[in-house]
Amino acid sequence: MAMKRVSRVLIGALAVVGALALCAALGFALVGVSARPEPPALEAKLARAARHLLIPRAARARANPQPANAEAIEEGMEHWADHCAICHGNDGKGDTAIGRGLYPRAPDMTLAATQELSDGELFWIIENGVKLTGMPAWGSSSGEEGEEEEESWDLVHFIRRLPRLTAGELDEMRRHNPSSREEIEREREIEDFLAGDRESRHSSGKKHRSDDKKHRH
Ligand code: HEC
């Protein structure tokens, strides 16, 4: 008898736990996975602190082997406009459709929080990316390590320049952004043309009976 009561209590307790877990899962699925809410400041701070600790100390201490000359900054700028600006913006403020929609957001890299990171830490982040965020790893897996690393170090020089970019430099960067609106427009026209071509070939087949009827008139 006593055993029966115990098992009934146990089953009841399990049912409650199960129901709670289901509610939690549903709640998470409905609200918790959205990237829309602004990440709470404390969460962002903790995530950055954890990121800092998880980057090896020796990597953080590495000095930039590339001289900070005009050529390096120019290289970094072109590379940034081509590969990074889509999320970070040419000005590094992260105010782009993608940068604003990611969780965590693409940060404003002109601010102290980024500028205070060491060259080695910036380099490590560029090469390895940041797990569970939108930041991709850009390090080479193709064996061309030397050249790729040089590019990343140039990017570090360029990141240092973000807070002082001139209007002229921003103009120049726009020319290096992946595709201008006109280019996209032209590509779309070509696609539409080709799609139309495919369609007319289709409609000459038997599938388009309404077309057949029209032709019989
Ligand atoms: C698909 C979007 C995306 C692209 C493209 C991208 N990033 Fe990022 N990046 C992010 C996000 C999101 C973060 C924030 C990560 C975090 O919170 O830890 C970030 C963070 C960083 C950081 C750390 C800055 C800080 O203060 O936390 C550096 C440095 C960086 N990116 C450099 C680059 C460079 C250089 C490129 C181009 C080669 C690039 N990123 C391309 C999304 C992107």
Q: Does the beta carbon of 157 sit less than 6 angstroms from any atom of ligand 1?
A: no
pLDDT for 203: 55
Tens digit of each residue's pLDDT (9 = 90 or more) over 109-159: 999 999 999 999 999 999 999 999 999 999 976 556 677 899 999 999 999
Which CATH number does the domain housing residue 100 bear? 1.10.760.10
Tens digit of each residue's pLDDT (9 = 90 or more) over 33-67: 999 999 999 999 999 999 999 999 999 999 999 99
Q: Does the beta carbon of 73 sit less than 6 angstroms from any atom of ligand 1?
A: no
Domain around 149: 62-181
Q: Is residue 141 part of a domain?
A: yes
- Would you state the torsion angle of the CA atoms of residues 66, 72, 73, 78, taken in this order, to the nearest 10 degrees? -130
Q: Does the beta carbon of 106 sit less than 6 angstroms from any atom of ligand 1?
A: yes
Ligand 1: residue of 75, 88, 115 to mutate (most ligand atoms within 8 A of CB) is 88
Distance from residue 18's CA to the centre of ligand 1 (Å): 40
Distance from residue 135's CA to the centre of ligand 1 (Å): 4
Q: How many CB atoms lie within 10 A of CB 172?
A: 16
Angle between helix axes 119-128 and 145-161 (nearest 10 degrees) is: 130
Q: Is residue 20 part of a domain?
A: no
Tens digit of each residue's pLDDT (9 = 90 or more) over 170-203: 999 999 999 766 777 887 888 888 888 766 665 5
Q: How many domains does the chain have?
A: 1
Q: Is residue 69 part of a domain?
A: yes
Q: Is residue 168 part of a domain?
A: yes
Model confidence, pTM = 0.76
Q: Whose CA is nearest to atom 34 of ligand 1?
A: 84
